Chains A and B, each alone.
Chain A
Amino acid sequence: MSSLGKYLWTALVLAVLTHFAVLLAFPNFVMNTAMARVSGGHFNVWRQGARVTEASRAIVRPSPDLAYSTCVYDLSGGPIQVHVAPWRAYWSLSLYQDNSDNFFVIDDREAHDGADVIIIKQGMAAPDHATAQIVESPTTRGIALVRRLAPTLEDYTGAAQAGRADVCAATARSAH
Chain B
Amino acid sequence: MLLRRILAWIATVGIGIGLGLISLWAVLAFGGANLSDHYGAWSLNRAAGSQAAGPYTRAIIARTGLLALSAQEAIYFNLDRDENGRPLDEGCIYEVSGQPLEARWWSLTLYADDNYLARNSDHAYSVDASRLGPGAWRARISAVQGDAPFWISSRAAGRNFSLTLRVYNPLDDFQPSEAVLPSLHTVSCGGGQS
Chain A positions within 8 Å of B, measured between CB atoms, are: 3, 7, 10-24, 26-27, 30-31, 34, 52-54, 56-57, 59-65, 89-90, 92, 94, 96, 99-103, 105, 107, 109, 143, 145, 149, 151
Quick one: which of A34, A56, A92 contacts B117, CB cutoff 8 A?
Answer: A56
Pair A102/B126 contact, Cβ less than 8 Å = no
Pair B55/A23 contact, Cβ less than 8 Å = yes
B16, B65, B111, B120: residue with the most chain A Cβ atoms closer than 10 Å: B16
Residues of B within 8 A of A17 (CB): 20
Pair B16/A60 contact, Cβ less than 8 Å = no
Bound complex: CA of A86 vs CA of B24, how far in Å? 43
Residue of B with least CB distance to A25 = B59
Bound complex: CA of A17 vs CA of B125, how far in Å? 41
Bound complex: CA of A17 vs CA of B15, how far in Å? 13
Quick one: which of A26, A53, A63 contacts B109, CB cutoff 8 A?
Answer: A63
Contact flags (1/0) for B108-129 with A, using CB distance below 8 Å?
0101000111111101011010
Pair A105/B128 contact, Cβ less than 8 Å = no
Within 8 A of A (CB), among B2-60: 8-9, 12-13, 15-21, 23-24, 28, 49-51, 53, 55-56, 58-59
Pair B61/A100 contact, Cβ less than 8 Å = yes
Pair B59/A105 contact, Cβ less than 8 Å = no
Bound complex: CA of A136 vs CA of B105, how far in Å? 29
Interface residue stretch chosen among B93-101, B164-172, B182-190:
B164-172
Residues of B within 8 A of A12 (CB): 16, 19
Interface size on B, residues (CB 8 A): 56
Measured CB to CB, the closest approach of chain B to A77, in angstroms, equals: 24
Measured CB to CB, the closest approach of chain A to B63, in angstroms, equals: 7
B70 interface residue (CB < 8 Å to A):
yes
Pair B67/A34 contact, Cβ less than 8 Å = yes
Q: Could you jot down 24 A-B contacts, CB within 8 Å?
A: A3-B8, A11-B13, A14-B17, A15-B20, A19-B23, A23-B55, A23-B59, A26-B28, A26-B59, A26-B63, A34-B67, A53-B117, A53-B125, A59-B66, A61-B116, A62-B116, A63-B109, A64-B117, A90-B105, A92-B73, A94-B69, A101-B58, A105-B70, A151-B128
Measured CB to CB, the closest approach of chain B to A93, in angstroms, equals: 11
Question: What is the interface of chain B mostly: helix, strand, loop, or mixed?
Answer: mixed
B104 interface residue (CB < 8 Å to A):
yes
B9, B17, B18: residue with the most chain A Cβ atoms closer than 10 Å: B17
Chain B positions within 8 Å of A, measured between CB atoms, are: 8-9, 12-13, 15-21, 23-24, 28, 49-51, 53, 55-56, 58-59, 61-70, 72-73, 104-105, 107, 109, 111, 115-121, 123, 125-126, 128, 130-131, 164, 166, 168-169
Pair A107/B73 contact, Cβ less than 8 Å = yes
Pair B16/A90 contact, Cβ less than 8 Å = no
A26-B62, A59-B67 known; A94 vs B115 contact (CB < 8 Å): no
Bound complex: CA of A59 vs CA of B131, how far in Å? 25
Residues of B within 8 A of A105 (CB): 69-70, 72-73
Measured CB to CB, the closest approach of chain A to B156, in angstroms, equals: 8
Bound complex: CA of A19 vs CA of B109, how far in Å? 33
Bound complex: CA of A63 vs CA of B130, how far in Å? 14
Pair B73/A94 contact, Cβ less than 8 Å = yes
Bound complex: CA of A109 vs CA of B131, how far in Å? 22
Pair A101/B53 contact, Cβ less than 8 Å = yes
Inter-chain pairs besides A30-B63, A64-B117, A94-B73, 10 sampled, C-beta below 8 Å:
A15-B16, A15-B19, A18-B19, A27-B62, A53-B125, A61-B66, A61-B116, A64-B126, A89-B130, A151-B128
